[in-house]
């Protein structure tokens, strides 16, 4: 288990990431605006806040603030940009803004999953000195690229429907 998590912070990070992966996908596919949608959305948001906080405390790959921490910054930005419109109910088409940013928040989470998978392959990704190899960066890039291509295709296909459904008349 020590190879999967490193200490209490790693364990919390793992648990909330699984919760966020499940609830994030569920919120995207379920009927919007229902009590269950809102409850699952709050669970997703809280798990993402904890996930990002713990991400800022993990320095296993670089030993310092690295690219994955910058991805966590981006994750925080999309999460808060998605929560703000729906919590304040401010601005024209606030539901469209909420949905768009939350879609990209969940997409970013699944991209992070791909990066995490590749960071758990120490015999492939680390040199003898413990630094990431080219194979690591290639694997992470390909994994994230695949998730983003799928996300972009879904977004292009469904954005007109979502916009029509949630825009203010």
Q: Could you tell me which residues are beta bridge partners of residue 146?
A: none
Q: Could you tell me which residues are beta bridge partners of residue 132?
A: 126
The closest of 41, 22, 115, 27 to 71, measured between CA atoms, is: 115
2 inside domain: no
Buried b / exposed e over 112-127, threshold 16 CB at 10 Å, is: bbbbeebbeeeeebbe
Token output for 91: 């601005």
Total count of domains within the chain = 1
The range of the structural domain enclosing residue 108 comes to 7-166
Token output for 40: 């699952």
Q: How many CA atoms lie within 13 A of 153 on its CB side?
A: 6
30 inside domain: yes
Can you say whether the dihedral through the CA atoms of 36, 25, 32, 52 is positive or negative?
A: positive
Secondary structure (3-state) at 110: helix
1 inside domain: no
Place of tokens 């680390």: 126
22 inside domain: yes
149 inside domain: yes
Secondary structure (3-state) at 132: strand
The closest of 13, 11, 16, 15 to 1, measured between CA atoms, is: 11
Query: One digit per residue, pLDDT tens: the chain, 169 residues?
Result: 445 566 888 889 889 999 999 999 999 988 888 999 999 999 999 999 999 999 888 766 555 677 778 889 999 999 999 999 999 998 888 999 999 999 999 999 999 898 877 766 655 666 666 666 777 777 788 888 999 999 999 999 988 988 888 776 5
Q: What is the pLDDT of residue 1?
A: 45
Instruction: Provide the whole-model pTM.
Output: 0.82
72 inside domain: yes
Distance between CA atoms of 76 and 169, rounded to whole angstroms? 30
């Amino acid at each position: 288990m020590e190879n999967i998590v490193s200490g209490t912070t790693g364990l919390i990070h793992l648990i909330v990431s699984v919760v966020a992966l499940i609830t994030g996908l569920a919120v995207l596919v379920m009927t919007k605006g229902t009590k269950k949608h809102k409850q699952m959305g709050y669970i997703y948001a809280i798990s993402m806040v904890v996930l990002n906080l713990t991400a800022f405390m993990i320095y296993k790959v670089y030993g310092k603030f690295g690219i994955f921490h910058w991805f966590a910054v981006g994750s925080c930005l999309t999460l808060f940009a998605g929560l703000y419109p729906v919590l304040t109910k401010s601005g024209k088409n606030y539901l469209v803004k909420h949905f768009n940013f939350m879609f990209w928040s969940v997409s970013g989470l699944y991209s992070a999953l791909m990066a995490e998978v590749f960071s758990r392959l120490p015999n492939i990704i680390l040199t003898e000195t413990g630094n990431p190899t080219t194979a690591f960066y290639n694997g992470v890039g390909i994994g994230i690229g695949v998730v983003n291509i799928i996300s972009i295709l879904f977004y292009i296909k469904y954005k007109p429907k979502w916009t029509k459904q949630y825009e203010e008349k």
